[in-house]
Amino acid sequence: MEKTLAILKPDAVERNLIGKILERIEGKGFKVAAMKMAQLSQCEAKGFYDVHKERPFFGDLTSYMSSGPVVLLVLSRDNAIKEWRDLMGATNPADAAEGTIRKDFAVNIEKNSTHGSDAPDTAAFEISYFFSQTEIVG
């Protein structure tokens, strides 16, 4: 079983979409291996998105990610990284396929409702950024 980090972003939490998104996650065969809510500081958001620090949207992204509560999840299943990215859809909801979470729920490229790790090394970093080993089951 592979693990990936998922975040339900402030726009999703604010619009009471936690239940609807978790239903899609569980419906696709993922096991929730860890879950908690958090209100990130901008400093924590900057550390998480450090790979994007040179991008023009870095300031807005980290302000937004610290603007309200988020749900942090470790998801487990076979091929979890790709399966979660497929379920989310394209980063920009304007490009997202029908039936994906971002197509159905995202507001725009910044308020795009969910995050997912993009590769095994980033999944390992992102999971350990928010969760200790004892908080993860399975």
Q: Does 91 bind ligand CMP (CB under 6 A)?
A: yes
Say which DSSP state 109 is in. Answer: S
Known catalytic membership, residue 52: no
**Helix H or strand E encompassing 71:** strand 70-77
* Nearest to 4, CA basis, from 125, 135, 133: 125
Q: Does 109 bind ligand CMP (CB under 6 A)?
A: yes
As measured in angstroms, the least distance from the Cβ of 134 to ligand CMP is 26
Q: What Cα–Cα distance (Å) separates residue 57 from each residue in 11, 41, 100, 111, 138? A: 17, 17, 24, 12, 36
Of the residues 101, 115, 126, 131, which one makes contact with ligand CMP according to CB under 6 A: 115
Strands 114-116 and 31-38: unpaired
Q: Does 76 bind ligand CMP (CB under 6 A)?
A: no
Stretch that binds ligand CMP, among 26-34, 37-45, 97-105, 109-117 (CB under 6 A): 109-117
Q: Which of 3, 115, 117, 126 is catalytic?
A: 115
- Judged by the rule CB under 6 A, the positions of this chain that interact with ligand CMP are 52, 57, 61, 91, 109-110, 112, 115
